[in-house]
Amino acid sequence: MLHEYRKKTTIKAEQFDGSDEMMKKYGLKKFGWEGFVRTRNSLDNFDFGAPLVFSKGDWFIEGDNGKINVLSDKEFRRTYERCD
Other C-beta atoms lying within 10 Å of the C-beta of residue 6: 8
In this prediction, residue 17 carries a pLDDT of: 93
pLDDT tens for residues 43-64?
678 887 777 888 999 999 888 8
What is the pTM (predicted TM-score) of this model?
Answer: 0.72
In this prediction, residue 33 carries a pLDDT of: 76
In this prediction, residue 37 carries a pLDDT of: 80
Other C-beta atoms lying within 10 Å of the C-beta of residue 64: 7
Look at the alpha carbons of 28, 31, 37, 39 in this order and tell me if their dihedral is positive or negative.
negative
Q: Can you list the residues of the chain whose pLDDT is less than 50?
A: none
In this prediction, residue 14 carries a pLDDT of: 92
